């Protein structure tokens, strides 16, 4: 209750300051939008469906790209963790390549795939693949040996052992990496869409700039923050909490 | 020493004949004292190990002989206990029989089939149990059956049956962390039994439990053993526990692990851990074990142990 009150107060002051700055016209309105202008832009965006379409397109790209990178990343991470040779060679390469911002892949993607859906998916996959791979690799290495021994002992082997024992057993270790992968994919997607102009939230942002509509720019930015928060705060945190309860890592 | 205790255990050396004289009166293995629960069948051995050796490479790169020419036969339905100091390779022996690890040389056979990897005819209950925390109690118990591809209806019947056997029926939907240590042990036991193995391998399963819980589980294990007729190989460092449970006790030496001696326990069942006869029999084994414990302590603490 106290915490909620503090937050209400905090946002009231924040918006108050915004109103004040806008009213005082410290900066011209086309550079510094008013809160009600942003509100109107938000309303208009949803009313003419352009925001809904952008959200739909961006989310579809996220689900495809992120899904692909999770599957690939789990496979890659497992391979790296299970081979000393791969660990010492590919493992090092993966870590060093993580410093490359994923948007750097866009030129290659455009040359390879043209200005197509594939190019943007490629950027999204490259954005999150490495963090999923690395977390899977470390998760696999931290995993106590006892689970796979018990699994083999009870008659699980090969793919069955992986799907029924190794993967669920390593989930608590890799959930942070999966979450980070999602955040990276989200960033890659928006930056990709800003450069690569076919629908999506990033394109909406650039359209606002082209139309000199600062209210729309800010409205879309808020939308991106809210969507990111919903996925992170609701989806991933729920999964994490469930895991912790099942495993007894946190009070139920 | 009480007079009737002298019949309690029969000590044999590796060639199988009885040692006589001294504090222990030797008796042939098939003496008049008959076990109330089962007469050990004289048929083919269930598990047999022939000249099994295993070498380790220590972290420093030195070769270390973990097990040296182990010859062992376990009859069907027998309750065999293996005792020895820590680090003597008791657990390793079970891992070899379970097929989770491979011996350097020698042969392990179960029912005349050579062991080539893990199989659900031999289920090992690990010291750390290795229960799956992401599954409920019922799902843990059903895991082996699910891997075997047994249908759901059949699986659920058997899960119920085995949970009832270990008195955990009302905890079927709990997760592992919600259970006490003794309950977890029973889940592990039910999970192992549910795959209906011929041989149950138990690696110091009760070491971490409090005395009351352990006593209870001894009783339950003995009852389940009598009801299901499984062959059990039970590893422990607790000699009294070995005498309490075993038809036969095998003593391993410290590095390399070798069979030093075997004892046939002929005390009537059910036995009790605090029983004077159990304690007396344990003392005889413990005397033989003491040298090995000293060797293991020396290896662990160096010269301090000698002081």
Q: Which residue of A has its CA nearest to B178?
A: A248
Is pLDDT of B109 > 50? yes
pLDDT of residue B30: 36
Query: Which residues of chain A neighbour B130 with C-beta distances below 8 Å?
Result: 146-147, 149-150, 153
| Chain-chain contact of A246 with B175 (C-beta, under 8 angstroms) | yes
pLDDT number for residue A173: 85
B259-265 sheet: strands from edge to edge: B9-12, B259-265, B248-252, B79-83, B231-236, B199-203, B122-125
Chain A / chain B CB contacts < 8 angstroms: 63
DSSP string, B134-166: TSBHHHHHHHHHHHHT--HHHHHHHHHHHHHHT
Instruction: Say which of A147, A155, A168 has its CB closest to residue B195.
Output: A155
Q: What is the mean pLDDT of each run of 10 residues along chain A (252 residues)?
A: 90 93 86 90 92 93 94 91 87 86 89 89 92 90 89 90 91 88 92 84 89 90 92 88 83 48
Interchain CB contact of B126 with A (< 8 Å)? yes
- DSSP state letter for B101: S
Does residue B207 contact residue B235 with C-beta atoms inside 8 Å? no
Q: Is B181 on the interface with A (CB under 8 A)?
A: no
Rg of chain A, C-alpha, whole Å: 22
Which residues of chain B does A150 touch, with a Cβ-Cβ cutoff of 8 Å?
A: 126, 129-132
Mean pLDDT of B39-64: 72
Taking contacts as CB-CB distances below 8 angstroms, the residues of chain A near B129 are 150
Residue B22 has a pLDDT of 30
- Return the residue of A nearest to B175 by Cα: A246
Q: What is the pLDDT of residue B11?
A: 59
State yes or no: cis peptide before B270, omega within 30 of 0.
Answer: yes
Could you say which residues from 189 to 218 on chain B have a Cβ atom under 8 Å away from some Cβ of chain A?
191, 195
Q: Please state, for a pLDDT cut of 70, what percent of chain B lies above it.
A: 83
DSSP strand pairing (B248-252 vs B79-83): parallel
A171 touches chain B (CB under 8 A): yes
Q: Check CB contact of B148 with chain A, cutoff 8 Å.
A: yes
Pick left, alpha or beta for residue A106 (phi over 0 → left; psi -120 to 50 → alpha; otherwise beta): alpha
**Sign of the CA dihedral with A55 first, then A60, A65, and A67 last:** positive
pLDDT of residue B17: 38
Q: For residues A30 and A92, is the Cβ–Cβ distance under 8 A?
A: no
CB contact under 8 A, A155 and B120: yes
Shortest CA distance from B128: residue in chain A: A146
Those residues with Cβ within 8 angstroms of residue A138's Cβ, 6 or more apart along the chain or in another chain: A81, A173, A177
Q: Which residues contact A231 (CB under 8 A, 6 or more apart)?
A: A182, A186
List Cβ neighbours of B167 (8 Å cut-off, separation of 6 or more): B186, B220
Half-sphere exposure of B108 (CA within 13 A, CB side): 22
Three-class HEC string of B187-255: HHHHHHHHCCCCEEEEECCCCCCCHHHHHHHHHHHHHHHHHHCCEEEEEECCHHHHHHHCCEEEEECCC
Structure confidence at residue B12 (pLDDT): 55
pLDDT the model gives residue B36: 36
Q: What is the CA radius of gyration of chain B?
A: 20
How much is the average pLDDT of B105-126?
A: 84
Q: Does B128 touch chain A (CB under 8 A)?
A: yes
Q: Is the confidence at residue B261, as pLDDT, over 80? A: yes
- Searching chain A, which residue's CA lies closest to the CA of residue B192? A154
Residues of chain B positioned with their CB less than 8 A from the CB of A170: none
Give pLDDT tens digits for B1-37.
444 444 556 655 444 433 333 333 333 333 333 333 3
SS (HEC) of chain A: CHHHHHHHHHHHHHHHHHHHHHHHCCCCCCCCCCHHHHHHHHHHHHHCCHHHHHHHHHHHHHHHHHHHHHHHHHHHHHHHHHCHHHHHHHHHHHHHHCCCCHHHHHHHHHHHHCCCHHHHHHHHHHHHHHHHHHHHHHHHHHCCHHHHHHHHHCCCCHHHHHHHHHHHHHHHHHHHHHHHHHHHHHHHHHHHHHHCCCCCHHHHHHHHHHCCCHHHHHHHHHHHHHHHHHHHHHHHHHHHHHHHHHHCCCCC
In this predicted structure, the answer to whether residue B139 has a pLDDT above a threshold of 90 is yes
Q: Does B124 contact A169 at a Cβ distance shorter than 8 Å?
A: no
Nearest Cα residue to A204 out of A103, A56, A22: A56
Looking at residue B108, its pLDDT comes to 85
**Greater pLDDT, B56 or B307:** B56
Test the A interface: residue of B95, B99, B132 with most A CBs within 10 Å: B132
Q: For tokens 């866009």, what's the residue?
A: A106
Nearest CA in chain B to A249: B177
* Cα of B219 to nearest chain A Cα, Å: 25
Q: Which residues contact A53 (CB under 8 A, 6 or more apart)?
A: A199
Among candidates B118, B128, B175 on the partner chain, residue whose Cβ is nearest the Cβ of A153: B118
CA distance B8 to B13: 17
Min Cα distance B203 → chain A (Å) is 13
Is A154's CB within 8 Å of B144's CB?
yes
pLDDT of residue A189: 92
Contact A223, A169 (CB under 8 A): no
Residue of higher predicted confidence among B253 and B194: B194
Alpha-carbon gap: B157 to the closest alpha carbon of chain A (Å): 19
* pLDDT, tens digit, 9 for 90 and up, residues B169-203: 899 999 999 998 889 988 998 999 898 888 999 99
In the three-class reduction of DSSP (H, G, I as helix; E, B as strand; rest coil), residue B125 is classed as strand
Which residues of chain A make contact with B133, given a CB cutoff of 8 A?
246-248
Structure tokens at A116: 């197509």
CB contact under 8 A, A146 and B130: yes
SS3 state of residue B177: helix
The alpha carbon of residue B84 and the mean position of all alpha carbons in its chain are separated, in whole angstroms, by: 12
Chain B interface test: which of A139, A144, A148, A154 (most B C-beta within 10 Å): A154
* Averaged pLDDT of chain B: 79
Are A153 and B124 inside 8 Å of each other by CB?
A: yes
- To 10 degrees, the CA torsion angle through A17, A20, A21, A23? 160
Write down the pLDDT at residue A226.
93
Which chain B residues have a beta carbon less than 8 Å from that of A149?
100, 126, 130
Distance, in Å, from the CA atom of A83 to the CA atom of B225, rounded to the nearest integer, reads 42
Distance CA B16, CA B139 (A): 45
Q: For the stretch B154-167, what's the b/e string if a residue is b when 16 or more beta carbons lie within 10 angstroms of its beta carbon?
A: ebeebbeebbebbe
Say whether A247 and B120 touch across the interface (CB within 8 A): no
């Amino acid at each position: 209750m106290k915490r909620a009150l503090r937050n209400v107060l905090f946002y009231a002051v924040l918006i108050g300051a915004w109103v004040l700055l806008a009213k005082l016209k410290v900066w011209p309105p086309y550079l510094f939008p008013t809160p009600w202008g942003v509100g109107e832009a938000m309303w208009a965006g949803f009313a003419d469906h352009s925001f809904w379409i952008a959200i739909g397109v961006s989310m579809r790209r996220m689900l495809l790209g992120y899904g692909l990178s999770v599957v690939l990343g789990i496979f890659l991470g497992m391979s790296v963790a299970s081979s000393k040779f791969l660990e010492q060679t590919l493992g090092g390469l993966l870590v060093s390549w993580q410093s490359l911002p994923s948007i750097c892949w866009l030129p290659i993607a455009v040359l390879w795939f043209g200005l197509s859906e594939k190019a943007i998916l490629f950027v999204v996959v490259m954005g999150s693949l490495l963090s999923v791979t690395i977390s899977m690799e470390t998760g696999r290495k931290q995993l106590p040996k006892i689970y796979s021994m018990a699994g083999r002992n009870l008659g699980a082997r090969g793919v069955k052992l992986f799907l029924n024992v190794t993967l669920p057993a390593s989930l608590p270790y890799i959930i942070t990496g999966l979450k980070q992968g999602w955040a990276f994919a989200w960033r890659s997607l928006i930056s990709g869409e800003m450069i690569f102009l076919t629908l999506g939230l990033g394109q909406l942002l650039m359209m606002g700039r082209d139309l000199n509509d600062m209210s729309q720019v800010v409205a879309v930015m808020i939308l991106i923050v809210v969507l990111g928060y919903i996925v992170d705060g609701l989806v991933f945190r729920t999964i994490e909490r469930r895991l912790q309860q099942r495993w007894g890592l946190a009070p139920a | 020493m009480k007079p009737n205790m002298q019949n309690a255990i029969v000590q044999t050396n590796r060639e199988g004949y009885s040692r006589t004289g001294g504090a222990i009166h030797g008796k042939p293995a098939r003496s008049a004292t008959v076990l109330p629960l089962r007469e050990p069948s004289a048929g083919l051995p269930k598990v047999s190990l022939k000249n099994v050796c295993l070498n380790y490479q220590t972290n420093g790169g030195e070769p270390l002989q973990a097990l040296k020419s182990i010859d062992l036969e376990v009859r069907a339905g027998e309750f065999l206990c293996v005792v020895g100091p820590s680090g003597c390779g008791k657990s390793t022996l079970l891992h070899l029989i379970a097929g989770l690890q491979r011996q350097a040389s020698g042969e392990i056979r179960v029912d005349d089939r050579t062991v080539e990897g893990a199989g659900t005819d031999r289920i090992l209950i690990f010291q750390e149990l290795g229960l799956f925390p992401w599954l409920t109690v019922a799902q843990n118990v059903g895991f082996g059956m699910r891997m075997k591809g047994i249908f759901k209806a059949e699986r659920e019947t058997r899960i119920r049956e085995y949970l009832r056997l270990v008195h955990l029926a009302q905890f079927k939907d709990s997760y592992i962390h919600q259970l006490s240590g003794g309950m977890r042990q029973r889940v592990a036991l039910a999970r192992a039994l549910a795959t209906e193995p011929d041989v149950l391998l138990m690696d110091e399963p009760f070491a971490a439990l409090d005395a009351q819980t352990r006593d209870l589980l001894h009783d339950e294990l003995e009852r389940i053993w009598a009801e299901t007729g499984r062959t059990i190989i039970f590893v422990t460092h607790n000699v009294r526990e070995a005498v309490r449970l075993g038809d036969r006790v095998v003593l391993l030496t410290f590095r390399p692990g070798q069979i030093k001696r075997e004892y046939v326990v002929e005390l009537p069942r059910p036995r009790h851990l605090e029983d004077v006869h159990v304690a007396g029999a344990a003392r005889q084994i413990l005397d033989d074990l003491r040298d090995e414990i000293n060797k293991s302590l020396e290896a662990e603490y160096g010269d301090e142990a000698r002081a």
